[in-house]
Amino acid sequence: MTADDSCGRLDDDDYPAFTMGRAAEMLGTTQGFLRAIGEARLITPLRSEGGHRRYSRYQLRIAARARELVDQGTPIEAACRIIILEDQLEEAQRINAEYRRAAGSSGPAPAD
């Protein structure tokens, strides 16, 4: 991979560009917090060839939401579950909207 290739991938929300230390620093949290939300299966960081955890911008947004809930007094396990349920609800709403659009575009059946 050339330097040009890696620079282009930095714009990719799913590219694991951040080390655990940098991710914790950006979120204003500890590495232990990131490990805890990983153990709760909220996010699964990718691993570098050396086995180090690497996080994407998308994962950092999820981690930031978890930190927000924990800072408000929600236990970490509950915060992770809330975020998972929010994500599932958003996906279900997206699918329902697609079904509604598809049903609306097909129009009513012609009368005999």
pLDDT given for residue 39 in this prediction = 94
As a whole number of angstroms, the distance between CA 23 and CA 17 comes to 9
pLDDT given for residue 3 in this prediction = 44
φ, ψ for residue 18, nearest 5 deg:
-115, 130
Q: For residues 58-68, b (16+ Cβ closer than 10 Å) or e, as one string?
A: ebbebbebbbe
pLDDT given for residue 8 in this prediction = 60
pTM metric for this prediction: 0.76
Tell me the CA distances in angstroms from 42 to 14, 30, 90, 103, one per residue in order.
Answer: 15, 16, 16, 34
**Residues of the chain predicted below pLDDT 70:** 1-10, 106-112
As a whole number of angstroms, the distance between CA 20 and CA 55 comes to 7
pLDDT given for residue 11 in this prediction = 76
